[in-house]
């Protein structure tokens, strides 16, 4: 945080557009908790993502830190505002979304009191940002193929599936799910076509839960790429082992640029970012190291 002799001044940003008072109530609880230990706090919200970015861009310079009460989308709104304004302040997160994938990856408790304690402890760590089709985001998983396509189809149903009915629908969809011919290119390598069902990529190297290899944190990690037919499995296995699609090349680390294109109808290929269907092909993804400071629990300093 910025070195000041006065009480830390924090903004508390929350999404109040979903029609529920949960985020507003949690934001009020966070404000009371931080003020109890000597912080000064201001609540911030807006009725759209654009209005929220504008509001944050105008106010960020006043703060020593910003607490985001919400999910992955609310967090990325705040991060986008920082990038657009050029004003970066330490970020705290109180998970309040549906998936909270960023919080799960970094083990930030959904319990408001525990999340506040992480912020009060003052433990900061720099995390990477990704530039996906020229948009700055801080994500956990990007998925292309069957998963987001099935999610899109399921969301289009008039009555959402639940329980065994949902499971049967997903199993039937996976059985008949489409296979896409996609071109993957890491860094300066030549693009390689692979028939793909599911492709997942993560900006962090994760091994056995919360532990990860610090020296490779800036790399892309292919979580899994499940391709058909089986003749493609050698290309897939080689990429997972070497982070390269080229024959005879074994990289010590993955390239920090990924391009994915297709000759098929781009509207058929869905891309899901942290559970939200957003980007479209062609897709260009780059890693920007250590762009944001985030309050994280001590277990993430391994």
Our count of domains for the chain comes to 2
Residue 227: per-residue pLDDT: 47
Residue 69: per-residue pLDDT: 95
- Looking at 91, 122, 153, the residue that finishes a domain is 122
Residue 285, classed as helix, strand or coil, is strand
Is 157 found in the same domain as 98? no
Residues 200, 222 contacting (CB under 8 angstroms): yes
Is 221 found in the same domain as 161? yes
- Looking at 122, 157, 190, the residue that finishes a domain is 122
Residue 256: per-residue pLDDT: 72
User: E strands along 167-216, which residues?
Assistant: 180-186, 192-202
Is 178 found in the same domain as 148? yes
Residues 6+ apart with CB under 8 A from 202: 140, 141, 142, 220, 221, 223
| Residue 43 within a domain | yes
- Looking at 60, 89, 122, the residue that finishes a domain is 122
| Residue 302 within a domain | no
CA dihedral 301, 286, 103, 29 (to 10 degrees): 110
DSSP code, position 268: G
Is 225 found in the same domain as 90? no
Is 204 found in the same domain as 99? no
Is 97 found in the same domain as 13? yes
| Residue 218 within a domain | yes
Residues 87 and 245: their CA atoms lie apart, in Å, by 38
Is 272 found in the same domain as 153? yes
Residue 90: per-residue pLDDT: 97
Residues 58 and 64: their CA atoms lie apart, in Å, by 14
C-alpha separations of 277 from 146, 147, 219, 269 in Å: 12, 10, 23, 11
Residues 37 and 31: their CA atoms lie apart, in Å, by 10
Is 148 found in the same domain as 117? no
Residue 239: per-residue pLDDT: 59
Residue 255: per-residue pLDDT: 59
Is 146 found in the same domain as 118? no
Low-confidence ranges of the chain (pLDDT < 70): 1-5, 17-20, 154-162, 203-255, 299-302
CATH of the domain at 254: 2.60.200
| Residue 66 within a domain | yes
| Residue 2 within a domain | no
Residues 6+ apart with CB under 8 A from 137: 76, 79, 80, 129, 130, 131, 273
Is 182 found in the same domain as 282? yes
* Cis peptide bond prior to 282, omega within 30° of 0: yes
| Residue 132 within a domain | no
Residues 173 and 168: their CA atoms lie apart, in Å, by 8
Is 151 found in the same domain as 70? no
For residue 21, how far is the Cα from the chain centroid? 25
* Cis peptide bond prior to 26, omega within 30° of 0: no
| Residue 130 within a domain | no
- Tell me the residue range of the domain where 98 lies: 9-122
Strands 257-262 and 135-137: what pairing? unpaired
CATH of the domain at 106: 3.40.50.10330
Residues 108 and 296: their CA atoms lie apart, in Å, by 7
The encoded tokens of residue 227 equal 């391709």
Whether the pTM exceeds 0.85: the reply is no
Is 160 found in the same domain as 244? yes
The encoded tokens of residue 219 equal 């790399």
| Residue 134 within a domain | no
Helices 112-121/22-36 angle, 10° precision: 40
Q: Which residue has the tokens 């490779």?
A: 216
């Amino acid at each position: 945080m910025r070195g000041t002799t006065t009480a830390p001044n924090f903004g508390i940003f929350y999404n109040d557009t979903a029609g529920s008072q949960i985020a507003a109530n949690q934001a009020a609880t966070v404000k009371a908790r931080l003020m109890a230990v000597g912080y000064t706090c201001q609540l911030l919200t807006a009725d759209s993502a654009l209005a929220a970015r504008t509001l944050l861009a105008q106010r960020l310079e006043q703060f020593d830190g910003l607490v985001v009460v919400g999910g992955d989308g609310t967090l990325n709104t705040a991060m986008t505002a920082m990038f657009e304004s050029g004003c970066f302040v330490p970020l705290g997160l109180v998970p309040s979304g549906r998936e909270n994938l960023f919080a799960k990856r970094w083990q930030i408790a959904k319990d408001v009191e525990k999340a506040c304690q992480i912020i009060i402890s003052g433990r900061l760590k720099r995390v990477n940002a990704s530039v996906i089709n020229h948009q700055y985001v801080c994500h956990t998983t990007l998925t292309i193929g069957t998963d987001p396509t099935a999610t899109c189809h399921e969301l289009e149903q008039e009555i959402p599936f639940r329980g065994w009915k949902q499971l049967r629908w997903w199993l039937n969809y996976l059985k008949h799910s489409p296979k896409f011919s996609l071109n993957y290119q890491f860094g300066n390598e030549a693009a390689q076509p692979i028939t793909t069902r599911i492709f997942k990529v993560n900006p962090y190297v994760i091994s056995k839960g919360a532990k990860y290899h610090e020296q490779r944190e800036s790399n892309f990690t292919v979580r899994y790429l499940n391709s058909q037919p089986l003749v493609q499995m050698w290309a897939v296995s080689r990429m997972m082992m070497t982070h390269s699609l080229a024959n005879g090349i074994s990289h010590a680390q993955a390239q920090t640029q990924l391009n994915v294109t297709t000759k098929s109808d781009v509207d058929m290929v869905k891309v899901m970012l942290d559970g939200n269907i957003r980007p479209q092909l062609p897709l260009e993804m780059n890693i920007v190291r250590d762009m944001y400071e985030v309050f994280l629990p001590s277990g993430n300093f391994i």
